[in-house]
Structure 1
Amino acid sequence: MRKAVKVALAFVGLLVGAGFASGQETIQYFLAYGYWGIVGSILAGIVIVVVGTTLFQLGSYYLADDHSAVFKSVSRPVVSTFMDLSTMFTLFAIGFVMIAGAGSNLEQQFGFPTWVGAVIMTIALVASGFLDVDKLTNVISVITPFLILAVIGALVVTILNMPDHMSSLNELAMQNDPASGVFGNWFLSALNYAALCVLVGVSMILVIAGSQMNPREAGLGGLLGGIIFSVLLVTLAFVIFANMDGVFGADFPLLMVFDNMHPAVGLVVSIIIYLMVYNTAVGMFYAMARRMSAKHPERFRPIYFTVVGIGFALSFIGFAELVNWVYPVIGYLGMVLIVVMVYAWIKDRTLIQQETKRRERLAALAEKALDPDAKELTDSQREEVEELVSESHVEETQLWQSVQEEVAADLDADPASEFSLEDTPALNPESDEYEGAPESPADAPIDWEAYDEMYHTGSFPAVTPEEAEHAKRGAGGSNAAS
């Protein structure tokens, strides 16, 4: 359950920045339709729950390192390429929309020209190209729970001060301009928003899920995360609706809700939102530049700085205007992805269930193999391991190594276990001594002799470059180390 909660919080963090923090999305996609918009937010939440669960299970099943690996596995090349390009477009589009949002945030809160906030954000993004952004964004992601608490606090205040003129609020809400391209239909608008959220998060969803060995636990994390986000979405829609007379016309209606409560509260929330906008923007531009420079890593920074510069230029179109036309386009692209991925899950759900049971049994065997107080695996248990990994769609050595790495991390985190990752660098990807799984002989799926030594010493036996090359030739180059 601990892993599922961790996955759920990561899922919420992915969606909150681009589709939630400003409140502008909620206005255009839902509240422009009045009461029906509240119903639409519930519908969108249900779709996000279902699709989120599906994506997390698929990502775990394929042990995805990037989204393209899953796309290629579940669809034909043309469709896979379309989804890959759609994801790339989304990364860039959300990136420059976030720069525009940064400008609107500081304009609304402090009265600065919009270019000031955009310039500050762009400088921060450029500087991030020289930093360890993973660690930086992990720190800023801690802000997400504070925004969640703020929304809950706003709900409590709103309920305690409920307006007695809901019908007039409904009429005022419907004077807002709805998102373009959804034909003034609340039902289509809700589906478009859900698809937008899915496409914004799909790349990282699949990567996060790919680090989870158990598809069932990954799916549970997606389910919990989807429910949390959906509850927050409906809550946000209700809060902004009930405060419509005080937020009408604002680029950041959520921020205006807090400003109207107390200027000091608005100031704190504006900083939180600005940091979340940064977190989303740097994630989008960084992921795009990494993808574009995959074959030429040395070109990463020039590409990154270029896309950030283009994003800065496009941000002057205006935040509300960008949300109005960019988000619906992304939503329709996301609808295609949803259909493909949900169909793939339905088609392969039996295989996913079988693979889940297979990995759970492998995890039980790995726990025995790694437990310092347990006896070594018997010959029959080793044969069972070989049979299980040979039945999987994942390469044998990679699967057994990956299962052991996850079990090792769990044992290391368990205070009741005497196992320590410090003593077993062969199963610790963070260790400088980590080299992945050992080469296996051509006639065996797993090199048990190497694992025997690892179980006793914590490290695989030293292999000279000549021996490694000889083993690779003997295996026909098919069992590369993971």
Structure 2
Amino acid sequence: MSKKDSVSIIGIATTYVGTVIGAGYASGQEILQYFLYFREHTLTIVLITALLFFVFGYIPAWLANHFATKDYLQAINPIAYSHNAILHKFFLRFCDVFITLSLFGTLVIMLAGAGTTFEEKFHLPMFVGALFVCILLMVNTYIGLNMVVKVMEILIPYMFLGVAVVGIYSLWNPTMASSEEIANASINNSDLIWHWSMSGVLYVAFNFQLALAVLCPLGCRANTKTIFWGILLGAIMLGGCAGFLCWVFNAHITVIGTQRLPMIVLANNISPLIGALYAVVLFFGLYSTAITCFYGSVERFAKLHILRRTSSLLVISLTAIMGFFASLLGFKDLISIVYPLLGYGGIVIMCLILYTYYQVRRKDTYAR
């Protein structure tokens, strides 16, 4: 098997989905804040999200393949490496800082999600769940990217199965409520998302940044056909899962609209045992995102001048310690504040990626 064929379509799709889906999907918190809060526009937001997940998953991976680089900064902004213009350098630094903040910020939220899950379901102190995940992340990241992909391929099918079981049962047993109660139900939201038209864009804008850390190395190792179908499959899975959860939540909106972990609430409605099993599924979800964010954060922190000559184990340990203490701020509040802010910066990076892709395609056309 050649180096370009060392990654499968399924491997790319599950890694992409695993990076994005995380605790926000599996817990349902992101679904409430980004999709269901804008009720009459929910389906449109889901379709926009699926389309943008494909576009901004495929283009960075294609650019990484085209330039034969694993470095996502070089893939999405290669012009900055060949020119000394101040503007190009500014965009390079902006992307570097913002993507690193997105990776680390999401890592913190995943750790907070682990703490919240352990606290609500198992009645353990919040720091226990966060600490447990930190230890696992350190071990997996020290082994390398191949372990990250293998973990994704194992965890994602189980997570989808858990979401499907709880979701289908919940659809068959909707909460009895009047149309007035449903219409007036309170739903978690973020004050930083001002209009429904921005919701899907912002959702992809912060999420795709997380995937860059693994999609570019994978894109460098796969052929373009595998990249295309892998990213397309991943985008369909992400859009389909979001739409399905919106359908499920709408049937129980009066009960779960303001919950921190709405999917856990629905699982507990089936039985305490199912609730406990779904807590494990939720753990898989947050871990699948946490491992790629942790891997990406370590890769970026290792290039800092102060850490460049230190051992990889030290960088891994420092990243885990910082993430652990930051996660104690709380899950729901972090999602409503951190994600939208990262999304607005992500829109700038999206525009830069489109510009880079356009320039590369135009140059290739003229070269023919």
State the TM-score bracket (shorter-chain normalisation): 0.7 to 0.9
Unpaired runs of 5+ residues, structure 1, are 355-390, 393-482
Partner of 1:22: 27
Partner of 1:396: none
Inter-partner Cα distance in structure 1 for 2:226 and 2:128: 44
Inter-partner Cα distance in structure 2 for 1:293 and 1:231: 36
CA drift at 1:98: 1.1
Structure 1 residue corresponding to 2:299, chosen from 273, 290, 301: 290
The amino acid that maps onto 1:287 is G
CA deviation digits over 1:21-68, x for unaligned, max 9?
221111111222233234322322222122223223222222221212
Within 5 A, what are the aligned runs for 1:222-241? 222-241=231-250
1:55 is the counterpart of 2:60: yes
Structure 2 residue corresponding to 1:200, chosen from 210, 220, 225: 210
CA drift at 1:327: 0.5
CA deviation digits over 1:404-443, x for unaligned, max 9?
xxxxxxxxxxxxxxxxxxxxxxxxxxxxxxxxxxxxxxxx
CA contact (8 A) 1:172 1:244 kept: no
Partner of 1:262: 271
Q: 1:112 and 1:64, CA in 2 relative to 1: closer, same or farther beyond 3 A?
A: same
Partner of 1:92: 104
TM-score, normalised to structure 2's length? 0.85
Partner of 1:340: 352
CA drift at 1:74: 4.7
CA drift at 1:335: 0.8
CA drift at 1:352: 6.0
Structure 2 residue corresponding to 1:112, chosen from 124, 133, 138: 124
1:212 is the counterpart of 2:186: no
1:272 is the counterpart of 2:281: yes
Three-state SS of the structure 2 residue aligned to 1:77 is helix
Q: 1:244 and 1:132, CA in 2 relative to 1: closer, same or farther beyond 3 A?
A: same
The amino acid that maps onto 2:359 is K
Inter-partner Cα distance in structure 2 for 1:350 and 1:252: 47
CA drift at 1:182: 1.6
Inter-partner Cα distance in structure 2 for 1:112 and 1:58: 45
CA drift at 1:337: 1.2
CA drift at 1:226: 1.0
Give the number of equivalent residue pairs. Answer: 352
1:187 is the counterpart of 2:192: no
The amino acid that maps onto 1:161 is N
Inter-partner Cα distance in structure 2 for 1:18 and 1:353: 42
The amino acid that maps onto 1:178 is N
Q: 1:266 and 1:352, CA in 2 relative to 1: closer, same or farther beyond 3 A?
A: farther
CA deviation digits over 1:322-373, x for unaligned, max 9?
111011111111111111112222333355689xxxxxxxxxxxxxxxxxxx
- Which segment is superposed worse, 227-236 or 148-157? 148-157
Q: 1:262 and 1:329, CA in 2 relative to 1: closer, same or farther beyond 3 A?
A: same
CA drift at 1:283: 2.8
Q: 1:74 and 1:22, CA in 2 relative to 1: closer, same or farther beyond 3 A?
A: farther
Structure 2 residue corresponding to 1:69, chosen from 74, 82, 98: 74
CA contact (8 A) 2:118 2:126 kept: yes
CA contact (8 A) 1:12 1:229 kept: yes
Structure that is richer in helix per residue: 2
- Which segment is superposed worse, 66-75 or 21-30? 66-75
CA drift at 1:162: 4.5
The amino acid that maps onto 1:181 is L
- Which segment is superposed worse, 47-56 or 86-95? 47-56
The amino acid that maps onto 1:157 is Y
Inter-partner Cα distance in structure 2 for 1:172 and 1:346: 46
CA contact (8 A) 1:61 1:352 kept: no
Q: 1:119 and 1:7, CA in 2 relative to 1: closer, same or farther beyond 3 A?
A: closer
Structure number with the bigger relative contact order (C-alpha 8 A, sep ≥ 6) is 2
1:253 is the counterpart of 2:262: yes
CA contact (8 A) 2:111 2:290 kept: yes
The amino acid that maps onto 1:300 is S
Three-state SS of the structure 2 residue aligned to 1:30 is helix
Inter-partner Cα distance in structure 1 for 2:352 and 2:75: 11
CA contact (8 A) 1:71 1:84 kept: no
CA contact (8 A) 1:147 1:272 kept: yes
CA contact (8 A) 1:29 1:189 kept: yes
CA RMSD of aligned residues (A): 2.8
Larger Rg: 1
CA contact (8 A) 1:209 1:218 kept: yes
Partner of 2:333: 321
TM-score, normalised to structure 1's length? 0.66
Structure 1 residue corresponding to 2:133, chosen from 100, 106, 121: 121
Three-state SS of the structure 1 residue aligned to 2:322 is helix
Partner of 1:459: none
Inter-partner Cα distance in structure 1 for 2:28 and 2:181: 17
The amino acid that maps onto 2:40 is Y
The amino acid that maps onto 1:99 is L
The amino acid that maps onto 2:347 is M
Unpaired runs of 5+ residues, structure 2, are 81-87
CA contact (8 A) 1:4 1:217 kept: yes
Three-state SS of the structure 2 residue aligned to 1:298 is coil
Partner of 2:85: none
